[in-house]
C-alpha cells in the first residue's frame, strides 16, 4: 500500500493518513479522522512545499503539501495540489478522501460527495473514508445515507468517537432524537471532554 501522507507523520497527517493503515491515516486527517478528540497535526508546510516542488510527478508529495496547506488554513490552495495528486495517481483512495474534506471546506458539496464516494469505492476497509463520505452526504442533505456510512465506520472501528458524534448529527438531521442522543452518549463515553458533543446534546434536549 502506498506510503501515506505524512502517514505516519506518524499518521494523518499522515495525510489523512495515508493509508498505510487506518491509524496512520487518521493522524493525517487530524480532527476529522481521529478515533478520539485531539488537536490536528501541523505538518511542516515549508518542508512539504520543497518536496512537492522537487518531485512534481510524485502524487504523494503533491497530496502531502496540499494537506499541509489545508491544515494551515488555506483550503483553496490545498485543492490545487491534491487535485494534481489525483491526476497523477487516481488509484490512491486517501487522495480522494482528502480532496472530499477540502471540497467540503470550500462548500463544494457536489465535488466533496463525488470524491468521498471514490475513496470508499477504492478502499471500503478504512473507517475514516466512510466518515468523510458520510460528512459529504450529510452536507448534501442525505442524512439516511450518511447514517449508513457512519454506522459502517463504527462497525470497523468500535472506538471511533468522531464517527459516533457524526452519527448523532445525522440522526438529529433525520429527526431521530432518541437515536441521536444514544450515539452522542456513546461518543461521550469515549471522550467526555468533546465540547461538540455536549453542545449538540444540549440543543437536542431543549
Position 3 in a domain: no
Residue 8 within a domain: no
Residue 132 inside a domain? The answer is yes
In a domain, residue 11? The reply is no
Q: What are phi and psi of 7, to 5 degrees?
A: -50, 85
The range of the structural domain enclosing residue 124 comes to 22-205
Residue 138 backbone dihedrals phi, psi, to 5 degrees = -65, -40
| pTM of the full structure | 0.82
Three cell numbers at 203? 440543543
Q: Which residues pair with 11 in a beta bridge?
A: 7
Q: For the segment 88-120, what is each residue's pLDDT rounded down to a tens digit?
A: 999 999 999 999 999 999 999 999 999 999 999
Kindly state the DSSP code that residue 21 receives in the 8-state scheme: S
- From first to last of its 206 residues, what are the pLDDT tens digits of the chain? 444 433 323 233 323 333 322 323 333 443 344 444 433 456 689 999 999 999 999 999 999 999 999 999 999 999 999 999 999 999 999 999 999 999 999 999 999 999 999 999 999 999 999 999 999 999 999 999 999 999 999 999 999 999 999 999 999 999 999 999 999 999 999 999 999 999 999 999 88
Identify the residue whose cell numbers are 452526504.
137
Number of domains observed in the structure of the chain = 1
Amino acid at each position: 500500500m502506498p506510503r501515506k501522507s505524512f502517514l505516519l507523520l506518524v499518521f494523518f497527517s499522515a495525510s489523512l493518513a495515508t493509508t498505510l493503515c487506518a491509524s496512520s491515516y487518521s493522524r493525517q486527517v487530524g480532527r476529522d479522522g481521529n478515533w478520539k478528540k485531539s488537536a490536528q497535526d501541523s505538518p511542516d508546510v515549508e518542508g512539504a512545499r520543497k518536496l512537492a516542488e522537487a518531485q512534481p510527478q510524485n502524487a504523494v508529495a503533491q497530496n502531502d503539501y496540499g494537506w499541509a496547506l489545508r491544515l494551515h488554513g488555506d483550503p483553496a490552495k490545498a485543492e490545487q495540489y491534491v487535485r494534481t495528486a489525483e491526476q497523477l495517481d487516481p488509484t490512491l483512495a486517501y487522495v480522494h478522501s482528502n480532496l472530499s474534506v477540502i471540497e467540503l471546506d470550500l462548500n463544494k458539496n457536489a465535488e466533496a460527495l463525488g470524491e468521498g464516494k471514490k475513496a470508499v469505492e477504492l478502499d471500503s476497509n478504512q473507517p475514516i473514508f466512510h466518515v468523510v463520505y458520510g460528512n459529504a452526504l450529510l452536507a448534501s442533505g442525505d442524512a439516511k445515507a450518511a447514517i449508513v456510512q457512519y454506522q459502517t465506520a463504527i462497525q470497523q472501528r468500535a472506538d471511533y468517537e468522531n464517527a459516533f458524534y457524526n452519527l448523532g448529527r445525522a440522526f438529529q438531521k433525520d429527526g431521530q432524537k432518541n437515536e441521536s442522543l444514544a450515539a452522542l452518549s456513546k461518543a461521550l463515553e469515549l471522550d467526555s471532554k468533546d465540547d461538540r458533543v455536549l453542545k449538540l446534546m444540549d440543543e437536542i434536549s431543549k
